[in-house]
Amino acid sequence: DSGVTQTPKHLITATGQRVTLRCSPRSGDLSVYWYQQSLDQGLQFLIHYYNGEERAKGNILERFSAQQFPDLHSELNLSSLELGDSALYFCASSSGTSRKGGAGELFFGEGSRLTVL
């Protein structure tokens, strides 16, 4: 058990819909990362938050947005869903402590499997 909790574990929805994925990081970790993993793309970095502040952005679509709340949990919002958005979405947390310091070891949740029909 990594200590990172993701909900829901599975989600089936239709094209055009909107979903919210939730992540609770390990106790004490200030950094949260979101990744998308599909069969043909590997693990794609989406976005990183540190203590509520967006730190880095990857190839995140404009239809996707995220935020990290004061209690450090994070949400990834996916809207106007398309078939190609079907994937495993992982959240990871780390204790990376400063802007100049490394991220360190990432602790991953078990993922949210999104199926868009």
Partner 1 sequence: SQKIEQNSEALNIQEGKTATLTCNYTNYSPAYLQWYRQDPGRGPVFLLLIRENEKEKRKERLKVTFDTTLKQSLFHITASQPADSATYLCALEFSGGYQKVTFGTGTKLQVIP
Bridge partners for 25 per DSSP: none
Taking the complex as a whole, how short is the minimal distance between the CB of residue 9 and partner 1, in angstroms? 10
Taking the complex as a whole, how short is the minimal distance between the CB of residue 6 and partner 1, in angstroms? 8
Q: Where are the beta strands (DSSP E) in the chain?
A: 5-7, 10-13, 19-24, 31-38, 42-50, 53-57, 64-68, 74-78, 87-94, 107-108, 112-116
Contact flags string 49-88 toward partner 1, x per CB under 8 A: -x----xx-x-----------------------------x
Interacting residue with partner 1 among 66, 81, 87, 106 (CB under 8 A): 106
Residues 28 and 91: their CA atoms lie apart, in Å, by 15
Subset of residues 6 to 25 that bind partner 1, contact rule: CB under 8 A: none
Size of the chain, expressed as the number of residues it contains: 117
Interacting residue with partner 1 among 26, 34, 64, 109 (CB under 8 A): 109
Nearest to 20, CA basis, from 93, 90, 85, 79: 79
Chain residues binding partner 1 by CB under 8 A are 2, 4, 31, 33, 35, 42-45, 48, 50, 55-56, 58, 88, 90, 92, 96, 99-111
